[in-house]
Every structure is written in C-alpha cells, then in structure tokens.
Chains A and B, each alone.
Chain A
Amino acid sequence: MPVRADWIYVGVAVWFAAGCLLSCLARKFMGPGVAEYFIANRRLTAIPAAMTYAATTYSAFMMVGLVGLTYKLGSSLLGFELTYLIGTVILLVYFAPRVWVAGRIYGYITPPELLAKRFENRWIGVVATLICVVMIIPYASVQYMGIGYLVEGISGGSVPFVVGALMVMATVFVYAYWAGMRSVAWTDALQASIMLASSILLVFYVVSRFFGGWGPYVEQLSIKASEYLKVKWPLLSYLGLVIPWFFFALSNPQVFQRYYVPRDVATLRRMIWGFAVFGFIYTVICTQLGFMARLVVPGLKVADKAMPALLSKVPGLLALVIFVGILAAAVSTLNSIILTLSSMVGRDVYRALRPGAPEERELLVGKLFIPVFAAACFAFAMLKPGLIVILSAMASGGMLMLVPAIFAAFLWRRATAHGVLASMVVGVVLVGVGYSFKLNPLGLSMTIWGLLASTLTLVAVSYLTRPPSIAGEFIETVNRELERRNIY
C-alpha cells in the first residue's frame, strides 16, 4: 500500500527541522576562517568524527543498491562490501595518522593540497580537483535520482520524482552552507543514527512478521534460496569492482578530508574504530534485507526494485521511517561531497592560481561553489544525460588513479611532480577510454589496467625527472612526529 503524500511531507519536514536545529547549534560554535569552515579547525570530537565518517561513506546505495544486488547475487555482495571495509580499516590505521600529522604540521585543508605542496607543483592540485569534480558530480546526482525514484515509488506516484530530488538539494545546501564541516558532522551524526536505527527496525519487523523469528527465517533461506548462499559472482568481474572500492579511503576526497578533523590522536583512534563497527553492523543488516526480500518478494526482474517491493509489504508508517533513513544516507554523503569539492575549488584551484589572494576570498569562492555543485547535481539528475551512466560507473575507478600518488607522497622520496601528474592523467584517460568503449582486456576491468598503468607511469617518469627539494624533509618530519606518538 502506498504511503500517503501528506505523511511523507510531514515526516521529511520533521527530519529536516531536527537537522536544521543541529546546524544552527553548530553555527554558534563556528569561528572565522577557512580551516574553521571546511575542517572544523581540526577540533572535532570522537562521536561526530566517527559518525560523519560512517554517514559520508555509506550512501543510499546500501539500502537500495546493496539490498538489490544481494537479492540478485546473494552472499558475494557481503564479500564485496566487507572486502571494502577490510581495505578501509587497513588503509585507515596506516594512512589516517600520517595524513592527520601532515595536516597539523603543514596546515593542509584539502586532499589535493597535500599532494600539490608535497610535490611542490600547484598543477597537481588543479588536475586532482578537476578529476574529482568530473567523477563525483555524476555519481552524486545518481543519489538524487535514487531518492526521486524511491519517493515516487513508495507514494504510488503522488509525490513526483522532481520533489524528491528537490528535497535532497535543499537539505544538502542548508546543512553544508550554514556552518560548514561542523554542521555537516553534527547533522551526519543524526543521519547515521537514523540510518542504523531504521534499518534495524526493518530487519526485526520483517523477521517477526513474515517468518515468525530468526530460526524459521534461516531455515526458509537455506531451503528456498540456498543457491544465493553460494559465491555466484564471477571472480574477474568481482575483482574489477572490489579493487577500486578497496582503496576508497584514499581515493575519495570527501573521506580523505576527514583525516584532518579529529582534535587529537585518541579521537582519531575512536573515529576509525567507531566507523568500522558501524560499517560492519550496517553491511550485515543490508545484505540480510536482500535475502529477506528474496523470500518475501521473489521473482523481481530488476534488482533495484527489491527494497521498494519490500517496503510495499510493510505498514505505511514503517515505510516512511525507512524512506527517511535512506534519505538521511543520501544527504549525509552528498553534503560531505559538496563541501569537500567546494573547499578544493577554493584552495586547490582559486588560491593555487592566485597565491596572493586573501583567505576571505578563498572562503567566499569555496562557499559560492556549494550551491553551484548542489544545483549541478540536481540538473544532472533531472536531465539524465546518457553520459551520466558512464561517468557514475567509472567514478570510483577514475578517482583510484590518485592513489599511487598518495602512496608515493608518504613512502617514496624519489617520486616527482611530473611523475604524479603523468600517472593521474594516464590512469584517468585509460579508464575513460575503457568505460566509453566497454573494453575489458583479458577479462579484467579497465580500472585495474588503469591502476597498473598509473603506477608504472609514476615510477618511470619519476626516474626521468628531478624530485622536489622538500621530499626527504616531508617524509622525515612526518615520520619523526609519528614516532613521537608511538605510531608506526
């Protein structure tokens, strides 16, 4: 049964008002300056830091895409999502303290800034920003589209697509613009709580209403859907998707920027730990919902319809709560993406190309781009150009080409600016060509070939060119500070 349109408007209004309240509170604590606006002056405490990391990472994909893919392919999806989590934990414990320390010593605010200053070349920041904007905007607009379709589906068409997309745009703009990172982090803490609580509620409702408990559910799963408990995803195609996601913690600027924000080492540790536990629970819940949908609404042709179909079987009020949970997941990812991209335009493009510009001007440029990016995502979602499918699919693959440079920044003194620039460009061009012409040499995704080419280019060009003067100093200074804090 569809959810009534007036219920949806009231539910979303209550949720939006709660976020606005937190956003207003965050504004009261906000001081002046770029660092304050974009990274909360490196003073975030553990709970908002962990929750914003989790809510930024986990988008509406989890409750719609992951549930649908588990419906279609079964257990392999848990493997895909948990391999991402394993990769993230490993990369976080190694790289997050390094980025955090470098940020404190050198005053970095954005991810490309670290690369541009470490390699003493402002064009690295410009190119990295361009790559991120081109890759992430289409991916972000898919989130708008997801909410548009979902609200249209659960309301039986009485709330149109455009209203769903507008809800997302308005909320993202208000939360990000009003008080920058502090507002985004505090509202993200609320969104993460809603995401987790609503998904747990749905799992328990479905188990008790449709199966009569966990025992009968597991029994029915092993009888009626045993095929889906095997590993059904072909290995090469699995690798093509899982490898870019394995490096998500380094390739995506919106999560990378969060390594600058914890106020001390203890907070950084709690951020990593809190995120990991959240991610583990949320992933298990979403994959279980995929299995449950397989049993409750079997025979769907389109995997993405699994969650809407499951919601059509639950009471309207519960469906509304779940919808708000999914909306919270989309908004918390989008406001972080848009805030980070805006900071990069101000810092890595405007300030880098006009070094004499005052900080106030950089902040103004950055803030101006928040509505620009929010509206660009909306326009993409409404126009649905054919290119959007290719660009959003290659988003994680394209940004993966920044990863060799990040490894080199901390681990390889001999790496040069020309090597880094060439590696980013070669990798992105290869991935772009691969996705445009649907090339999979030897059955492997072009993303993996792009990563290999990007790494080899970095090494080869670096040996042919001269390393920056501060290379050794940067690595030694960071390592000395890490040793002082017993981080190895």
Chain B
Amino acid sequence: MRPIARTRRRRLAWLSTFSLIVVLDFVVPYTLLKDIASLAGSYAFWAILTAITIALGYVYMLRWRD
C-alpha cells in the first residue's frame, strides 16, 4: 500500500475510535447508567473511559519521532 493511503487509513481509524469514545462518553451514562446509585455505575464508567483514552493517546503518539 502507498504511504499516503496508509496514513489516510490510519488517520481514519483513529478518528473513528476517538469519535466512538466521545459518543459513548455522553450516551452511556445518560441512558444505561443514569439511575445506578453506586460508584460502579457512571462514576466508574467515566473513569475507565478516560483511562482508556489516555492509554490510546499514548499509543497514538508512540510513532512520533524527532
């Protein structure tokens, strides 16, 4: 595959992943977890989703070079 096409595919894959995270971040706590009165509900969901985003961000940056 040509490098430009590969870069575009990667960019699209990351854009889709991050978009999915943003959608889940709003939708899940306000629907499935709205009335769960426990730290294991929306609180844990938001914390885990953020930890996943930070980890993914780290992976995204791994290829960067000087």
Q: Which A residues have a C-beta under 8 Å from some C-beta of B?
A: 75-76, 78-79, 82-83, 85-87, 89-90, 92-93, 97, 218, 221-222, 226-227, 229-231, 235, 239, 264-266, 268-269, 272-273, 276-277, 280, 284, 287, 483, 485-488
* Complex Cα–Cα for A264 and B64 (A): 11
What residues on A are CB-neighbors of B41 within 8 Å? 75, 229-230
**Contact status A83-B57, CB under 8 Å:** no
* Complex Cα–Cα for A115 and B41 (A): 43
What residues on A are CB-neighbors of B11 within 8 Å? 488
* Complex Cα–Cα for A83 and B38 (A): 20
The verdict on A82 contacting B57 (CB below 8 Å), with A222-B39, A488-B11 known, is no
- Nearest Cβ in chain B — how far from A332, in angstroms? 22
What residues on A are CB-neighbors of B2 within 8 Å? none
Report, as a range, how many residues of chain B touch the other chain.
35 or more
Partner of B42 from the list A75, A269, A272 (CB cut-off 8 Å) is A75
B47 on the interface (CB 8 Å rule)? yes
**Contact status B37-A486, CB under 8 Å:** no
**Contact status B54-A280, CB under 8 Å:** yes
Partner of A230 from the list B22, B25, B35, B66 (CB cut-off 8 Å) is B35
The verdict on A485 contacting B65 (CB below 8 Å), with A82-B46, A85-B50, A231-B30 known, is yes
- Over the window 51-63 of chain B, the binary record of Cβ atoms lying under 8 Å from chain A Cβ atoms (1 yes, 0 no) is 1011001101101
* Given pairs A83-B26, A273-B54, 19 additional interface contacts (CB within 8 A): A78-B42, A79-B46, A83-B46, A85-B54, A86-B22, A87-B22, A90-B57, A93-B61, A222-B37, A227-B37, A230-B37, A230-B41, A231-B33, A269-B61, A277-B54, A280-B50, A280-B54, A487-B63, A488-B11
* Complex Cα–Cα for A222 and B43 (A): 13
What residues on B are CB-neighbors of A221 within 8 Å? 39
* Complex Cα–Cα for A326 and B38 (A): 29
**Contact status B66-A284, CB under 8 Å:** no
From A80, which residue of chain B is reached at the shortest CB distance?
A: B46
* Complex Cα–Cα for A485 and B64 (A): 6
**Contact status A486-B33, CB under 8 Å:** no
Partner of A265 from the list B18, B35, B46, B65 (CB cut-off 8 Å) is B65
- Over the window 1-26 of chain B, the binary record of Cβ atoms lying under 8 Å from chain A Cβ atoms (1 yes, 0 no) is 00000010011000000100110011
From B31, which residue of chain A is reached at the shortest CB distance?
A: A231
**Contact status B22-A78, CB under 8 Å:** no
From A218, which residue of chain B is reached at the shortest CB distance?
A: B39
From B61, which residue of chain A is reached at the shortest CB distance?
A: A269
* Complex Cα–Cα for A268 and B43 (A): 30
Q: Which 7 A-B pairs have the closest CB atoms?
A: A226-B37, A82-B50, A75-B43, A89-B57, A269-B61, A276-B54, A265-B66
**Contact status B18-A90, CB under 8 Å:** yes
* Complex Cα–Cα for A230 and B37 (A): 5
- Nearest Cβ in chain A — how far from B2, in angstroms? 13
What residues on A are CB-neighbors of B35 within 8 Å? 230-231
Partner of A89 from the list B26, B29, B54, B65 (CB cut-off 8 Å) is B54
**Contact status B39-A89, CB under 8 Å:** no
The verdict on A273 contacting B34 (CB below 8 Å), with A485-B64, A485-B66, A488-B11 known, is no
* A–B complex contacts, Cβ < 8 Å, 6 sampled: A89-B53, A97-B64, A230-B42, A239-B26, A486-B65, A488-B10
What residues on A are CB-neighbors of B64 within 8 Å? 97, 265-266, 268-269, 485-487
Partner of B34 from the list A230, A276, A284 (CB cut-off 8 Å) is A230
What residues on B are CB-neighbors of A227 within 8 Å? 37
- Nearest Cβ in chain A — how far from B6, in angstroms? 9
The verdict on A93 contacting B60 (CB below 8 Å), with A75-B42, A284-B47 known, is yes
**Contact status A231-B61, CB under 8 Å:** no
**Contact status B38-A222, CB under 8 Å:** yes
What residues on A are CB-neighbors of B22 within 8 Å? 86-87, 90
